[in-house]
Amino acid sequence: MASTRTQIGIVGAGPAGLLLSHLLAREGIESILVEDRSRTYVEERIRAGVLEQGTVDILNQTGLGERMNRESLIHDGIEIRFNGTGHRIDFPSLTGGKRIAVYGQHEVVKDLIAARLADGGVIHFEVSDVSVNDFTDTAPKIRYRKAGEGNEIACDFIAGCDGFHGICRPSIPEGILTAYDREYPFAWLGILAESTPAAEELIYTHTDRGFALLSMRSPTLSRLYLQCNPEDDIARWPDDRIWEELQRRTATADGAFRVPEGPILQKGITPMRSFVVEPMQHGRLYLAGDAAHIVPPTGAKGMNLAVADVRTLTTALVAFYKNGDVTRLGEYSARCLRRVWKAQRFSWWMTTMLHLNRADSPFDRRRQIAELDYVTSSETAMRSLAENYVGLPFDDPVAVN
Ligand code: FAD
Ligand code: DHB
């Protein structure tokens, strides 16, 4: 078995693993990434699209902003539409000047891979049989196969950045982790369409047919979502049905609004779930991003939380390597979870406020409309939504140089 050594072994080349490797390299800390998919696959996987102000800031501060600043769309607000009327929530005026950027997760991933490779970073794509070993003693190892050959990476610490279905979380012995889980009786049918975005900003709509979201990726590419049943089969959603349902769920009372239609390039159904494990670490294995928690997508928090985790982990690893200080490593999980739970709360709240729950009583339906009315008419309520949407402030400065 071929063996190499590094300081941090990272499993998974999604936003969490790649950004961690990038931030560590800037601090002079070495890492090696292993990823079971191909480079093309991870660079083309369409997922999240909204970057919080803090995510934009960290990408800019660490030399990753060049293409993002050119191609991302900066948004100053969102629209919430119900009863056929739209209500705008203005972010800068409610948050002291903060905004969000619409820039596809796969574009962030492309920029990160390019930066790592340009800096001499090591990413092993298309590996198999990945395992994490000996992380409860001082010499952890990642083992994997590449082109049939067995390999081992000896390291000081392992970062489990391998997403919800990865192997790191299940490698932690039974009895250590507590999982907090909630499933929802809805899913999202998402499409990518070659069509002009319906508006300059995102529109979240609630109707008695269900939720819809109009987002975008560029001035010619729309990203559109419909609430559907988790058991729904995508084969039952031909293009015509998708467009018709989008038109119905976004119609305004004056009948003037139309979603521009165009060829559908991709479509898929994603179930919705809230999930957290505590703690997010065991021995020398640290979980980050979706490996430790997932949120329903309504608040656009998933990728932003992954970024927040790895900035916390970077600060802790820098304190260890520069000063021999293990305090921050010990606090990693607790520091992350404070933010994770607030993002869980926000994502759960946005989800339940905007989706149609067919099991709801008439009382609950009226309460839901009252909540939408309140959040779009009270400045205090709007400020809370805006503060969470653009991203809660960080309570510690990040290690960036
Ligand atoms: P991931 O991006 O999942 O990266 C994990 C990486 O680990 C992957 O590249 C995977 O291939 C790799 N990996 C897995 N197992 C192994 C293994 N055994 N060995 C090696 N590598 C492994 N969030 C939003 O905010 N808005 C959205 O619209 C949205 N849409 C989504 C749609 C889908 C289908 C999914 C799954 C998620 C979506 N999310 C969305 C959530 C968001 O994309 C995630 O929160 C984000 O990708 C988390 O980044 P990560 O790096 O932690 O995990
Ligand atoms: C997108 C996804 C989200 O979950 C969201 O809340 C807003 C936008 C998107 O993919 O563009």
Asked if residue 397 has pLDDT above 70, the reply is no
CB of 72 closer than 6 angstroms to any ligand 2 atom: no
Question: Is 151 within 8 Å of 194 (Cβ atoms)?
Answer: no
- The pLDDT of residue 296 is above 70: yes
* Atom from ligand 2 closest to the CA of residue 102: 11
Instruction: Name the maximum alpha-carbon separation found in the chain.
Output: 69
Q: How confident is the model at residue 395 (pLDDT cuts 50, 70, 90)?
A: confident
- The pLDDT of residue 400 is 46
Q: What is the pLDDT of residue 401?
A: 40
The model's pLDDT over 170-203, given as tens digits with 9 standing for 90+, comes to: 999 999 999 999 999 999 999 999 999 999 999 9
Q: What 3-state DSSP class applies to 45? A: coil
Average pLDDT over every residue of 35-62: 96
This prediction has a pTM of: 0.97
What gap in Å lies between CA 224 and CA 202, rounded to an integer? 10
Given a cut of 70, whether residue 206 has pLDDT beyond it is yes
Give tens-digit pLDDT for 323-345.
999 999 999 999 999 999 999 99
User: What pLDDT is attached to residue 156?
Assistant: 98
Q: Are 313 and 157 in contact (CB under 8 A)?
A: no
Question: Two tokens at 219?
Answer: 């001035």
Counting from 1 in the atom list of ligand 2, the atom nearest the Cα of 217 is 11
| E-strand stretches of 162-256 | 178-193, 202-207, 210-218, 221-228
Q: How far apart are CA 257 and CA 242, in angstroms?
A: 16
pLDDT band at 398 (very low <50, low <70, confident <90, very high): low
Residue 206 DSSP label: E
Pick from 47, 72, 225, 303 the residue to mutate for probing ligand 2's pocket: most ligand atoms within 8 Å of its CB.
225
Positive or negative, the Cα torsion across 303, 6, 329, 174?
positive
pLDDT at 269: 97
Nearest to 52 by CA among 13, 12, 108, 11: 108
Which amino acid residue places its CA nearest to atom 5 of ligand 2? 300
pLDDT tens sequence across 74-103: 999 999 999 999 999 999 999 999 999 999
Nearest CA to ligand 1 atom 53: 163
Catalytic residues: 75, 204, 297, 301, 389
Q: Could you tell me if the CB of 9 is within 6 A of ligand 1? A: no
Q: Which residue has the tokens 């889980």?
A: 181
CA of 33 to the centre of ligand 1 (A): 15
